[in-house]
Every structure is written in C-alpha cells, then in structure tokens.
Chains A and B, each alone.
Chain A
Amino acid sequence: MKPPPFAYHAPRTVDGVLAALAELGDEGKVLAGGQSLVPMLNMRLAQPEALVDLSRVDGLDAIEVTDTHVRVEARVTHERLRRDPRVTPAVPLLRQALDWVAHPVIRNRGTSVGSIVHADPAAELPAVLGLLGGHMELRRVDGSREVAGRDYLLSPLDSDTAPEELAVAAVFPRPSAHTGSSFLELARRHGDYALAGVGAVVRLDEDRRLVSAEVACIGVGGVPVYVGLTEALRGQPHDALDLADAVGLVRAAIDPSDDIHATGAYRTHLTGVLAERALTQATAHATHEEIAA
C-alpha cells in the first residue's frame, strides 16, 4: 500500500494551480484534503502522473455567507464549514448533512468541495448541493464556468470536471422563507458511508400547508436520486401529514443493487423509512423556521 512514483506540485497561487493543471492535462490530479485520494493512491487504484496540491495555495479558503447563498471555497474543510456559526442559520441543511460526514479526524482534513468533486454515490454534500439548487464554480486558465449541482455528478466517482479545471467553490443558495430541511442516514457504523441517506426540503405556505417537497437519496444509485414530491404532498397540513404516497414514490424511484452490506430490497425499504422521517422532520423544521422568522 505505497503509491507509485508521481510528480508533486504545490503552487502558491490559484493561477499557479490552473497553469499546472493546464500543462499536466490528463496526467494531473488535484489533491485537497486527501481523505479519498490518498488511500486510492496507496492502494494504487489511482495512479496519476502528478499531484497538484492545494494546501499551500494562498486563498481558496473562504466561507462566504450572503443574503442569497453560502459559498464554500475549495480548501474549506468539512469541520470548518460545520462549525462556522454563520452557516447553520443561513443554510441549515449543510449542518444537518455535515453531522453525518465521517469522523472528526476525517472532517478535519477532508474538504467539502473535494467531496463533491470526488462524487462518491453515498456522499452527503453532492446531494445537498443538488437539493438546494446550488452550483459548482469551475476555473481553468482561459475561463470559468458554473455547473448546476444536479448535473455535476455524472456517475460513481466521476463529476463534470475537465482535467485542466479546478473546482474553486460550491455555492449553496439560502432556502426561501417557510422552508425546512432534514438529513437522515443509516450507516452500519457511526460515520461510515451510509447504507442509505435521505435529504429532504419542504416549503410551507402561510397556512402551514405543504407547497413543495423534494428528497435526495444517497447510497442507492450511482449518483444522488432526486424525487420531487410536490404533487403528492401539496396542500397537506403540517401537523397531519400522510406520507404513504410519497414514500411509495421514493421507493419506486430507486433501484439499489445488492452489495456486501445490504440487499437492494433492504435499501429500498430503508430509503422509504428515512424519507418518511426526513419529510416529517423537515416539515417540523419549517414550522420552527417560521416561528423563528
């Protein structure tokens, strides 16, 4: 479990990173927190010719909280984001999801943007980004672009990032008023990638009836599976939810396969249970948000 030889670049500026990536093309790989990449290197599952390490870059470490969004730059660790007191009031779903991310030692080094780029099917943050309608900011030497969170993950461990591009930030929009959210998982062990996880966002109207609802399911497909539940739930009162149809829709939307940790059938069942609980919690959260507002 030692990596093969690779060249190591540690630019001091973002431009330096972009130049290195442009020059290296397919042979380069960005190293941020290294919590996924380093094990893959050690097991020789990834054998890049060169690593471009972000750890010495001046910048790329801001958490920007505005009236409209939370913008998280590439070097921000999960734990910094989780503990930032401005983040939870602005985008509660971030904290709700980050509580499930691995263990403190991993969160202390692993980066939130890196996790999204890595595109693990069971990772929480890609689903959060998609569910909130956020986007990624990508830069290259000769330009930049934005990719919607929902479109960014292509397949397991593959995101829409060109070799010469750097994902500089993820932008999470603030939810509108009367919106509540929740993130729930079941993992075999505390902090493991989940057998299944569900993030839920619901919005209520003035009468506390559901206006919109959507869940994102992780660990049950190659990429997060988003299930719109507005049709099924619109108009339901917050304190007398009937979620049976919604749960049915969620289970119908996924088709997880068997693996060594659980059968697909169990994961389907579990996702329904988690969706029911997450929708219930998100609805309660929405009423609390309303009171707080």
Chain B
Amino acid sequence: MTTKLFGTPVARSEDPRLLRGEGRYLDDLGHDAYHVGIVRSPHAHARILGIDVTAALEVPGLIAIHTFDDLPERLREPLPLLIPHPSIRDGRTQYVLARDEVNYLGEAVAMVIAEDRYAAEDALELIDVDYEPLPPVVGPEAARAAERTVHAGIDDNVGARYEQTIGDAAAAIADAPNVLEFRLDIERSASMPMEGRGTLARWDADESMLRVHSSTQAPTSVRAAVAAYLELPLQQVECVTPDIGGGFGVKIVHPWPEEILVPWAARELGHPVKFVEDRREHFISATHERAQVQFLKVGFDDDGRILGLDVELLHDHGAYMPYGVIVPIITSTQLLGPYRIEQYRVVFDSVYTNTVPVTPYRGAGRPQGCFAMERTMDRIARHLGKDRTDVRRVNMLEPEELPYDYGLIFQDGRPYRYDSGDFPASLAKLKELVDWDGFEARREAAAAEGRLLGIGMAAYVEGTGVGPYEGGHVLVEPNGTVQVATGLSTQGQGHETAFAQIVADELGVPFASVRVVTGDTRRFRYAVGTFASRAAVMSGNAIHLAAVKVKDKALKIASEALEVDVEDLELAEGQVRVKGSPETAIDLNVVATMSNPLRYAFDESARIATQFATPASLDRPPVGDDDEPGLEGTDYYSPVSSTFANGMHAVEVAIDPQTSDVTIERYAVVHDCGTLINPRIVEGQVLGGVAQGVGGALYERMAYDANGQLNNASFMDFLIPYSTEVPHVDIDHLETPSPLNPLGIKGAGEAGVIPGSAAIASAIEDAIGARVDAMPIGPAQVHALRCASDERSAIPGRDRVEVPR
C-alpha cells in the first residue's frame, strides 16, 4: 500500500456499473409514482386569456390538473433570481406556471398529473389554452433595436449592463499604429445531456418528511428551495441525486418549475409524483447557451503586441435571467486568455428575447470569450503578415509575471488573478505536438493532391474551483470500510474514483475499501454545487483535509495504544504502524473500534472498546473535552480566489475543394490543470469537451425562426456530432501546481470545450483564405464564404475589408 494512487490513471470504479446498464437514474426510480406532464406554450410571446381543461378531465388515468390560479400563494411567486448582481437593472424570472403571459416557446402553463406519462400526454392534448399572440423579440439584435419588448416596463429589453476597465483602452487604441475593428457572431447551443431533467418526490406523512430525488447539479440548494416554497423546515426535506446522465451546466439551474411543482403535488396527493423530461421538452424548456454578438476594436504595435482592446458584447439571455449575468461576466474576463492586456474595456448588454433562457453550458461564456480573443490574434497576425503563434507568444504573460492580477472582478466576486501557469511552455509543447512548423510542407503536399488544408490554434485560461466552499466527511467504520461523502453531485465526472484515490492515499487503505457518496443531503448537508470545474478542487481538497483529520486522530489513538510517539507512526496497508518496524502495528479498523468507547459488546470485535476491556486512564473521561467518538472527520475548503487552469488546442482541417465539406484531420491539446489526480479521468474530460467543442464549431445551432419557433427541436435536426465526427485527439499535459490549495490541483471539467470554435475557425480560415467571423460553420457556410471571397479577390489569404461597427 505504499504505491501512491494520486496522479495515477486508476480505472474509474463507477464505469462497470454505468457501462453495464446498472446505473440508477431518475427514471429508474419511483415506479409507483404518478407522472407529471406540462402544457407548454406553443407561442414565443402571448397573453393567456383563459385555460379550459374540461375535455381533459375525461382522460382515463387522470389524477389532477393545475394552473397558476390553483397554486398556493407561495407558489404564485416568481422563481428566484439565483445570483444577484449590481449590474442587473430589472431581473425577471418565470413563474412555476405562467400567470397571464408566456415569454418563450415551451414555458410551463399548466400541470397534468396522471397515473402514467401516456395518460398525462393524452390529457395535455385536450387542454385548451386561449392565447392572444404578442409580437416576439427573437435574436439579440432585435432586442437591441427594441421595436418590440419582451417584458412590460423594460423598454430597451436590457436586463443588465456592465462595464469593466483596465487602464484607458480608448486612448491606447487611438495612439496605436495599427487598429482593427470587427464583429463576431456565435449562435445558440445547449448542454444536451443524454438524460434530461427529472424530479421524483415522496411525502412521508407519518414522519412529515419530504424526500426529493432530482437530476441536479445543486442538491443542497434544491433542498433549500423546496423547503422554502413548500414552507417546510429544512430538516423535513431531503434531496438525493441518483446517477445523473450528464449535466454540462444545464442542471445547475434550480429550482426548475417542476422541481417545485412535483414535491408540492406529492405532498398534496400523499402519493409519489415524478416528472421525467423528454427530449422535445428539453429543447424548449431546459436552458440554452452561447449566443453572443461581439464588437471588437484592437490597437497593436508592429510586433502584434496588443496596446488596447475594446469589446462590446451583446448577450442574449433569453426570456428570463434566473442565473443572473454569470455567463457574460465570465466572457468579459476570461476573454483575456493567457495574454498581457493592460488597456482594456469590456461592456456587455444582457438582453431579453422571447426564447428559452440562457444559463451556463460547459465552458459558460468562455468559448465566446476565447473566440473573440483568438479571432483577434489571427486578425492581427494576418494584418502584419506574421505567424499566428508568434503574435500570441509576444502577448503572452511570462511565467515570472504570475501571479498576475488584472484588476478585474471575476464571477465569484473576487479578484481576477491568475495563480500559476507557464503559457509559453504550453505553446511550445503544442507547436511540437501538432508539428506547427512543418505544416506548410503538408499544405503543399495536400494541394498537389487537390486537397485544401488549414491549421489553426487557440489558447485559453479557465478560472476553476470557484468558491465559496465545499466540505467533505471521512469515516472509518469498525469493519474497515471508509465512507466518504461530499455534498455536491456527480454527473459522470468520475468523482467516486478521484475522491477515493485522495482518501486511500491519505489513510493508507486499499482503494476498494473507500466508498464515496455525492449529492445526498442525508449524508452531507452543506455544499454549493457542481459547476465551474470546481468539484475536484473544492470537494477534493475538502475531502483531503477531512482525511488528514481522520489520520491525525488515528495516529493519536494508536500512539496511546502502542505507547509510541505519533511522529514514529505511519498509516499504511490498512494499519497504523511503527515506521521502520511494520510488525508493530494496529489495524485501522481496530483503531476505529477503539475510537468509540462502548458499554455493549454487540459483536466480538467491539469487545476491545467496552468499559471493562480497556485499560483507560481513570483520571480523564473516556471521551475527552477536545475529542469526539468515532474515527471520522469533517472539513471544508474555501479558497480566497479561483485557481486558473490553461490550455491550447491546435487543429488541422481539410476542406473538400468542391463541396466545401470540412474534415478535422488532426486535433492536438496541451492542457495544464495543475497537479493531476487521475490522468485518465482528465483525458476523458478533455476528450468529451473537445467533442462538444467540435459540435459548437461545426454543427450545433438552435434554429429559431422570426416567430420564435424552434425549428430543430430534435436530435434529427439539432446536430450533435456522433463519434464518427469527433477526431482522434493527441493530448499532452503540463502540471503547474496551484499555490492556492493543498493538493495543487486546478479544475479540468470544462477545459476541452473552450477553444474548439476558435481553433476550428482559425483552421478553416487558414484553409480557405476567407474570414470566418461566425460560428457554427458547415459546408454551406464555407461554400458561401469561398464564393464571396472569390468575388472580392482572386488572391487567397489577402486581408479583407473590415466590417465597421
């Protein structure tokens, strides 16, 4: 047991269960439960004049139908604005069921409860809602034009406006020898986990206890929200997460209307009730992300060094802003990437539109920021005729400049300060990994075969492990099992494995003896949630600290039992033993038994802890003033600020010269998330992120029409890449430990997705010689760009006319 698990590619212990179909997801629970179906608005914007449920009452299996008017007073209040921010002028959120107006296609209007989902859907069809359609606002530019409004009383459709500055960007740009000004567009995508949203609630009338199972990234906060809306003491509500089939951000939003309605209905009916979202509902009633229009102005010297950068973001947050302005704040700050930008102004308008609300999706505003900055770098390189990596290199922060404080405020309300990293080393590694310098030869060879190749790259820095805190509990049972709990939930990230590695190392016990429970408020009540690549940093360190407490306690008990100084003892191979003479040892499970002074010998092993068995000192109590029974420990980790991971991607694409179809031929990733707990898990996270990055770059867009109808709300028409579309990825790691936490780790969950669009745009642009300013991009768009470029200039690669703001 001297082998350290930390840092080794331990196979994920959750995988056999999940891969064999033995996972236990929300819809696997509650077979006796009634099913909820939701009447959803077919209009993007409408007034509700009346709801007639008469015909639906005849449906066999119907239990109940509820509309806004039936709800108790507390449930008739708007859902919470989860993250208040001073920039929010007028933050609107929706009701659990629409009161008198709907503001997006899919908004919840009425609830049906039936014996099964079939009957619920039969009833849904028969509910007649009288809508008076109102003119919808679709797209951020329509919102800005403000010829129509989403919400009465918000005449400019602006929910929040926020400006941050470093120095005086305008003056720096005015004095710069070179200035470029341009516009970029990114369309909407969405998290799209395999498993949609879902909630099951059981009310135990005998114990006045509500148990809520929910497919959520924030179980402790769901618990608190349910308790608040149902006006129950917190101690009478439990929230448990079963296996979760992916989250990617969408499941951090809470409480969903259904997360309140289902527990309420379960208590009202005295019967289990569940809601399991289907895919069509997920498209129109879960949340989206990514959509932004960006206006950039950059001044730079003849080496490509950025002297001043001015960015205006038009951020479409949809019909409501339940998650505040987190996404545009992250874009505004993380846009800076690994670069030294000393004169900077960024301002965003976060606007209302009659579309599904926008909340973080893996990357959470960073892909947009990375796109803005990396497109800027490419433009500068082209303008100056320089290699794109050289322009990035000259702007990069040197390792000795870190920690580097930009003087901005990050999404956690704390300083935007990079703690560590070596960006130039990452760039050098990437260039080697993708053979950047050998590309021109490859391009020529391909051209000789009639193939069009291009290469591109993008770099990012990712603030991870945001606070405020997470906690961990570690308990050694008298049978030797080590129970570990943390409050945040797991959506497939491998927490069971990574956290067990940390504990097994610290306590010197076999990996297999450690059992990890996440996202169950019965086991751990205090937590924040799983988002912002924070679980490993936050819970990992908290669990580590809790394990250290357990270790210290075990050493103390063993020290007394063995009459050996603590300094001379170590934990290894499931024992506390004397360093250098391992035969003098005491099993850790015996220490666990001894830690709990007993009166009753309920089994043979318990005898040693009973009152006549132990030669305890009669001068002090069996449990001392500074002690507690049991070999367990709880601790919390709460950092002063986020820790910043970084990475760079390079992509080589081939464009079919006739069809303009895009094929990714190489994809290389250099990734630095500090000290690695488990390289295999990190690589899995990176690969999954790259797949989503490819999706955002080449495939995924929410096709809203001018009426706010979503024209591709299915997996047939909303194109998520299949495995056949995801390239092989070469991954290399740098490990620059974070100085901010005991384990030196940084988050890795979102990294892979961030630079996808930027890097792929760069490569396509390089291949076709025409500007790529809007993503996603498919063969039809590439074809159109090439045609337009042929019309403008016969010389590929020449700089184009800049689009004025």
A residues adjacent to B (C-beta < 8 A): 1-5, 43-44, 103, 186, 188-193, 195, 260-263, 265-267, 269-270, 273-274
Expressed in whole angstroms, the Cα–Cα distance for A103 and B719 within the complex equals: 15
Known: A1-B278, A2-B121, A269-B783. A190 touches B722 (CB 8 A): yes
Q: Check B122–A262 contact: CB distance below 8 A.
A: no
Q: Check B118–A2 contact: CB distance below 8 A.
A: yes
**How distant is A2 from chain B, measured CB to nearest CB, in Å?**
5
Q: Check A186–B717 contact: CB distance below 8 A.
A: no
Expressed in whole angstroms, the Cα–Cα distance for A265 and B781 within the complex equals: 11
Expressed in whole angstroms, the Cα–Cα distance for A190 and B716 within the complex equals: 12
Known: A189-B722, A190-B725. A4 touches B122 (CB 8 A): yes
Which residue from A1, A190, A195, A260 sits with its C-beta under 8 Å from B779?
A: A195
Q: Check B717–A260 contact: CB distance below 8 A.
A: yes
User: 10 nearest interchain CB pairs?
Assistant: A190-B724, A262-B780, A266-B780, A260-B703, A1-B278, A273-B658, A2-B118, A2-B121, A266-B783, A2-B117
Q: Check A263–B122 contact: CB distance below 8 A.
A: no
**How distant is A236 from chain B, measured CB to nearest CB, in Å?**
21
Query: Nearest CB to that of B782 among chain A residues?
Result: A266
Which residue from B125, B719, B724, B780 sits with its C-beta under 8 Å from A263?
A: B780
Please, which residues of chain A bring their CB within 8 A of the CB of B658? 273
Q: Check B719–A189 contact: CB distance below 8 A.
A: yes
Please, which residues of chain A bring their CB within 8 A of the CB of B730? none
Expressed in whole angstroms, the Cα–Cα distance for A4 and B699 within the complex equals: 33
Expressed in whole angstroms, the Cα–Cα distance for A261 and B280 within the complex equals: 19
Q: Check A43–B280 contact: CB distance below 8 A.
A: yes
Interface residues of B in 717-731 (CB under 8 A from A): 717, 719, 721-722, 724-725
B145 at the interface (CB under 8 A from A): no
Q: Check B721–A189 contact: CB distance below 8 A.
A: yes
Q: Check B719–A4 contact: CB distance below 8 A.
A: no
Please, which residues of chain A bring their CB within 8 A of the CB of B659? 186, 270, 273-274
Expressed in whole angstroms, the Cα–Cα distance for A274 and B779 within the complex equals: 14
Please, which residues of chain A bring their CB within 8 A of the CB of B714? 43
Please, which residues of chain B bring their CB within 8 A of the CB of A5? 118, 122
Expressed in whole angstroms, the Cα–Cα distance for A263 and B658 within the complex equals: 16
Please, which residues of chain A bring their CB within 8 A of the CB of B784? 263, 265-266
A1, A265, A267, A274: most-surrounded residue (chain B CB, <10 A) = A1
Which residue from A3, A191, A193 sits with its C-beta under 8 Å from B724?
A: A191
What is the interface of chain A mostly: helix, strand, loop, or mixed? loop
Contacts A1-B278, A44-B121, A186-B779 known; list 18 others, CB within 8 Å: A2-B118, A4-B118, A4-B122, A5-B118, A5-B122, A188-B699, A190-B725, A191-B724, A195-B779, A260-B711, A260-B717, A261-B780, A262-B778, A262-B780, A266-B783, A266-B784, A269-B783, A270-B783
**How distant is A131 from chain B, measured CB to nearest CB, in Å?**
22
Expressed in whole angstroms, the Cα–Cα distance for A280 and B725 within the complex equals: 27
B661 at the interface (CB under 8 A from A): yes
Please, which residues of chain A bring their CB within 8 A of the CB of B717? 260-261
Please, which residues of chain B bring their CB within 8 A of the CB of A265? 784
B279 at the interface (CB under 8 A from A): yes
B712 at the interface (CB under 8 A from A): yes
**How distant is A151 from chain B, measured CB to nearest CB, in Å?**
28
Query: Nearest CB to that of B278 among chain A residues?
Result: A1
Please, which residues of chain A bring their CB within 8 A of the CB of B278? 1
Q: Check A261–B122 contact: CB distance below 8 A.
A: no
Interface residues of B in 696-723 (CB under 8 A from A): 699, 701, 703, 711-712, 714, 716-717, 719, 721-722
Query: Nearest CB to that of B60 among chain A residues?
Result: A5
Please, which residues of chain B bring their CB within 8 A of the CB of A103? 722
Known: A260-B711, A260-B717. A189 touches B725 (CB 8 A): yes
Q: Check A4–B125 contact: CB distance below 8 A.
A: yes
Known: A1-B280, A2-B117, A189-B722. A260 touches B780 (CB 8 A): no
Expressed in whole angstroms, the Cα–Cα distance for A266 and B122 within the complex equals: 42
Give me 5 A-to-B residue pairs in the complex whose CB atoms sit less than 8 angstroms apart, sorted by A's number. A103-B722, A188-B719, A261-B778, A262-B779, A266-B784
Q: Check A189–B779 contact: CB distance below 8 A.
A: no
The 8 A CB mask of B80-122 against A (1 = contact, 0 = none) is 0000000000000000000000000000000000000110011
Interface residues of B in 3-31 (CB under 8 A from A): none
Please, which residues of chain B bring their CB within 8 A of the CB of A273? 658-659
**How distant is A216 from chain B, measured CB to nearest CB, in Å?**
19
Expressed in whole angstroms, the Cα–Cα distance for A262 and B716 within the complex equals: 15
Expressed in whole angstroms, the Cα–Cα distance for A265 and B784 within the complex equals: 9
Expressed in whole angstroms, the Cα–Cα distance for A192 and B719 within the complex equals: 10
Please, which residues of chain A bring their CB within 8 A of the CB of B711? 260
Q: Check A189–B724 contact: CB distance below 8 A.
A: yes
Please, which residues of chain B bring their CB within 8 A of the CB of A192? 716, 719
B278, B716, B780: most-surrounded residue (chain A CB, <10 A) = B780
**How distant is B352 from chain A, measured CB to nearest CB, in Å?**
24
Expressed in whole angstroms, the Cα–Cα distance for A2 and B784 within the complex equals: 41
Expressed in whole angstroms, the Cα–Cα distance for A192 and B715 within the complex equals: 11
Expressed in whole angstroms, the Cα–Cα distance for A261 and B717 within the complex equals: 8
Please, which residues of chain B bring their CB within 8 A of the CB of A191? 722, 724
**How distant is A248 from chain B, measured CB to nearest CB, in Å?**
15
Expressed in whole angstroms, the Cα–Cα distance for A3 and B117 within the complex equals: 10
The 8 A CB mask of B630-667 against A (1 = contact, 0 = none) is 00000000000000000000000000001101000000
Please, which residues of chain A bring their CB within 8 A of the CB of B779? 186, 188, 195, 262, 266, 270
Please, which residues of chain A bring their CB within 8 A of the CB of B279? 1
Which residue from A1, A189, A269 sits with its C-beta under 8 Å from B699?
A: A189
Expressed in whole angstroms, the Cα–Cα distance for A263 and B780 within the complex equals: 7
Expressed in whole angstroms, the Cα–Cα distance for A262 and B658 within the complex equals: 15
Query: Nearest CB to that of B35 among chain A residues?
Result: A2
**How distant is B730 from chain A, measured CB to nearest CB, in Å?**
22
Expressed in whole angstroms, the Cα–Cα distance for A66 and B279 within the complex equals: 46
**How distant is B66 from chain A, measured CB to nearest CB, in Å?**
20
Please, which residues of chain B bring their CB within 8 A of the CB of A195? 779-780
**How distant is B197 from chain A, measured CB to nearest CB, in Å?**
14
Expressed in whole angstroms, the Cα–Cα distance for A274 and B658 within the complex equals: 9
Q: Check A186–B121 contact: CB distance below 8 A.
A: no
Expressed in whole angstroms, the Cα–Cα distance for A147 and B170 within the complex equals: 73
Please, which residues of chain A bring their CB within 8 A of the CB of B712? 260
Q: Check A186–B661 contact: CB distance below 8 A.
A: yes
Please, which residues of chain B bring their CB within 8 A of the CB of A43? 280, 714
Query: Nearest CB to that of B698 among chain A residues?
Result: A188
Expressed in whole angstroms, the Cα–Cα distance for A279 and B376 within the complex equals: 44
Query: Nearest CB to that of B122 among chain A residues?
Result: A4
Expressed in whole angstroms, the Cα–Cα distance for A2 and B121 within the complex equals: 7
Please, which residues of chain B bring their CB within 8 A of the CB of A269? 783
The 8 A CB mask of B265-285 against A (1 = contact, 0 = none) is 000000000000011100000
Please, which residues of chain B bring their CB within 8 A of the CB of A3? 118
Expressed in whole angstroms, the Cα–Cα distance for A186 and B779 within the complex equals: 10
Expressed in whole angstroms, the Cα–Cα distance for A189 and B717 within the complex equals: 11
**How distant is B664 from chain A, measured CB to nearest CB, in Å?**
13
Query: Nearest CB to that of B778 among chain A residues?
Result: A188
Please, which residues of chain A bring their CB within 8 A of the CB of B778? 188, 261-262
Expressed in whole angstroms, the Cα–Cα distance for A3 and B779 within the complex equals: 36
Expressed in whole angstroms, the Cα–Cα distance for A119 and B18 within the complex equals: 39
Expressed in whole angstroms, the Cα–Cα distance for A261 and B711 within the complex equals: 11
**How distant is A36 from chain B, measured CB to nearest CB, in Å?**
10
**How distant is A275 from chain B, measured CB to nearest CB, in Å?**
11
**How distant is A290 from chain B, measured CB to nearest CB, in Å?**
28
Please, which residues of chain A bring their CB within 8 A of the CB of B783? 266, 269-270
**How distant is A63 from chain B, measured CB to nearest CB, in Å?**
28
**How distant is A276 from chain B, measured CB to nearest CB, in Å?**
8
Expressed in whole angstroms, the Cα–Cα distance for A190 and B698 within the complex equals: 13
The 8 A CB mask of B717-748 against A (1 = contact, 0 = none) is 10101101100000000000000000000000
Query: Nearest CB to that of A267 among chain B residues?
Result: B780
Expressed in whole angstroms, the Cα–Cα distance for A42 and B450 within the complex equals: 46
Query: Nearest CB to that of A4 among chain B residues?
Result: B122
Expressed in whole angstroms, the Cα–Cα distance for A191 and B701 within the complex equals: 19
**How distant is B696 from chain A, measured CB to nearest CB, in Å?**
14
Please, which residues of chain A bring their CB within 8 A of the CB of B701? 260
Interface residues of B in 114-144 (CB under 8 A from A): 117-118, 121-122, 125
A103, A266, A273: most-surrounded residue (chain B CB, <10 A) = A266
